[in-house]
Structure 1
Amino acid sequence: MAGRKQFDVDEALQRAMYVFWRWGYPEASIDRLTEGTGLGRGSLYSTFGDKSALFRQSLDRYAQTYHPLYDQALSGPHPNPGAVVTAYLQVTLNRIADPNVPDGCLLTMSAAQFPALDAEGQALVRTMIDTLRALLTQAFLAAGADDQEAAELALCTLATNQSLAVLSRTGFSSDDLATVATAAARIPR
């Protein structure tokens, strides 16, 4: 039938997400994207639009996949702010340990390459980070932190999370990453 996709669009988007995750936006060339998705250029463009549009769809997919895990981890109840840090960073450690996904974090990679993104991509990255920060702040408040402490701990936890992603890409062991997470959870006590 004419106009009917001869491939799984959802699977192609998943594969594109992995290309951006592995290479970052600037290095995720159209050649890498076609190779990674198994699609020809025409199918790639007609299905997803240009590279920037495909990147934003991939980042949305990433958020749809991983942000519910953070939501669940932060839903509590948590006996203290340190337990919030532990729950949040455990999601990151679990993702990093997954051998089926690239090292690091697509959101961290994208934030590090912020200047290379178009305005829509930059806005999406910033919105995603701000959303996680707000979720963390609320979880810290629910765990007994005051407003200032909750805001500070949310920012520190985000920074630690980003650091874990970077360290994992540079080959730090899972034991080293767990040490960072454990030490970070001791900070608010």
Structure 2
Amino acid sequence: MSGRKQFDVDEALDRAMRVFWELGYAETSLDTLGRATGLGRGSLYGAFGAKDELFRRSLERYAARYEHRYEEAVDAHAGDPVAAVGAFFDVVLDRIGDPDVPVGCLVVQSAAQLPTLSPESRKAVDRAVTAQRRRVRRALDAAAAGHEPAELDSLALLVVGVQHAIVVLSRTGAPMAELRSLADAGVQAVADRLAVTTR
């Protein structure tokens, strides 16, 4: 029987993810990660590699936990882009309002810290942001018959931009009513633009 201390990798990743989520990459130290996970530096390196690699593993963990919620929300309103965008924002607000997780969004907060990240981690964050934009763009495809692709691309960018604004404002302590109002304004902007046929 080995005398080495065993630990739950998934639980350690959850705790590391939460630290990066709460503090951001730049403010997260190996000592902080060690205290959160209960692992010494040697064990952290042995299990996950350097801080940069653990950060990317945390991003993957975050995606595995939340991406399907966006997919399900959008897919539940296939054919109705306005309702799909509204459901998308509902997921954003539900996560922000969850008292059991940190405020904000790990991906958005990491995007704001790109200069502090390695090239590999920058690419990982960019992939996550791009995936969200593509998800929204797919929700808008139901309106494609009356709108130019470039216009729908622009609307997808607007929706993701509003999402990012909501996340940032949530970190400042903005009340949920204000965040909901911003989301509603985003939905209304999409509805107004789609109501105008360009072809």
Q: TM-score category by the smaller chain?
A: over 0.9
**What runs of 5+ residues in structure 2 fail to find an aligned partner?**
192-199
Aligned twin of 1:153:
155
2:164 to 162, 165, 186: 162
Matched-pair contact (CA < 8 Å) for 2:137–2:152: yes
Contact 2:85 2:139 in 1 (8 A): no
Matches within 5 A, 1:5-154: 6-78=6-78, 80-144=80-144, 146=147, 147-154=149-156
**Counterpart contact for 2:24–2:109, Cα < 8 Å:** yes
Identical-residue share of aligned pairs (%): 46
The structural deviation recorded for 1:76 is: 3.4
Q: 1:44 to 1:24 in 2, by over 3 A?
A: same
Q: Could you list the runs of 4 or more consecutive aligned residues of structure 1 that deviate by over 4 angstroms after TM superposition? A: none
Give the AA of the match of 2:44. Answer: L
Residue type at the aligned position of 2:120: E
Aligned equivalents of 1:136, 1:142: Cα separation in 2: 11
Deviation digits for residues 94-142 of structure 1, max 9, x if unmatched?
0001111111100011000001100110001111111111111111012
Whose radius of gyration is greater, 1 or 2?
2
1:34 partner amino acid: G
Counterpart of 1:183, as a letter, is A
CA distance in 1, matches of 2:79, 2:59: 33
TM-score when scaled to structure 2?
Answer: 0.90
Q: Distance in 1 between matches of 2:31 and 2:65?
A: 25
Q: Contact 2:21–2:109 (CA<8 Å) still a contact in 1?
A: yes
Number of matched residues? 189
TM-superposed deviation, 1:77? 2.9
Q: Deviations over 1:153-186 (max 9, x none)?
A: 1101111111111111100011111111111110
Structure 1 stretch 137-146 or stretch 44-53: which is displaced more?
137-146
Q: SS of the counterpart of 1:27?
A: coil
TM-score (norm 1): 0.94
Task: Identify unmatched segments of 5+ residues in structure 1.
Answer: none
